[in-house]
Amino acid sequence: MQIFIRGVAGSWTPKHICLKKGSGLNRKLKIKKHFTPCPIDDEDEMYPNGIFVFNITKMTEYIQRNSIPCEGVLVKDFSRGSSKFNENHLATVDVTKPVIVAEISPGRFNVIDGNHRMERARRLGMEKVPAYRITPEQHLQFLTTEQGYLAYIEYWNGKLKELQKRRITY
């Protein structure tokens, strides 16, 4: 059984990140020489997370085109953090529309689309919400700047190196 601790707004992290031998610890990301930042059209929705800015509109299109499976995620596994919610908007969101959770560091997922839906589900006492789980291999292409892309690869690989030093496996 894994016990989850609350972390950053809209994220969950296992208390002890356990990765099967030969699976998660070999997920070092490599810089693509010809990386092209995701274009931004006028009406596109963005998710800024510090230097990392993801194009949610293009990511959602990718999810639909590639039939990414939808699964239920536990509402309690994602904290509110210090998020402020637009109460007028909160009352109108559809909690049956899947949220997008992205693996931001090895074993740690953040809600990058659907924080209002997650909060409304929490207030309604729902146990689960539908979600698309996106890996870095899938979401890197939606970073909107080369600087963000390079910083993300460095961040991910640094977190991976920390895990390798601790050799947390089962």
Task: Count H helices and E strands in the chain, helices first.
Answer: 5, 8
Q: What percent of the chain has pLDDT over 90?
A: 69
Query: CA dihedral in degrees (106, 71, 148, 44; nearest 10)?
Result: -170
Look at residue 163 in the predicted model and tell me its pLDDT.
87
Rounded to whole angstroms, the Cα distance separating 167 from 161 reads 9
Look at residue 141 in the predicted model and tell me its pLDDT.
96
- pLDDT band per the 50, 70, 90 thresholds, residue 23: very low
Look at residue 67 in the predicted model and tell me its pLDDT.
92
User: What radius of gyration do the chain's Cα atoms show?
Assistant: 16
CA contacts within 13 A on the Cβ side of 164: 13
What residues form DSSP beta bridges with 32?
none
DSSP assignment of 76-129: GGS--TT----HHHHTT--TTSPEEEEEEETTEEEEEE-HHHHHHHHHTT-SEE
Q: What is the pLDDT of residues 70-104, one digit of tens each?
A: 999 999 998 876 668 889 999 999 999 999 999 99
Look at residue 166 in the predicted model and tell me its pLDDT.
82
Residue 14 has pLDDT above 70, yes or no: no
- CA angle 150-101-96, nearest 5°? 150
* Domain ranges, residue 21: 4-166
Distances (CA, A) of 116 to 16, 39, 80, 123, 143: 28, 25, 10, 11, 22
Residue 133 has pLDDT above 80, yes or no: yes
Q: How many domains does the chain have?
A: 1
- pLDDT band per the 50, 70, 90 thresholds, residue 24: low
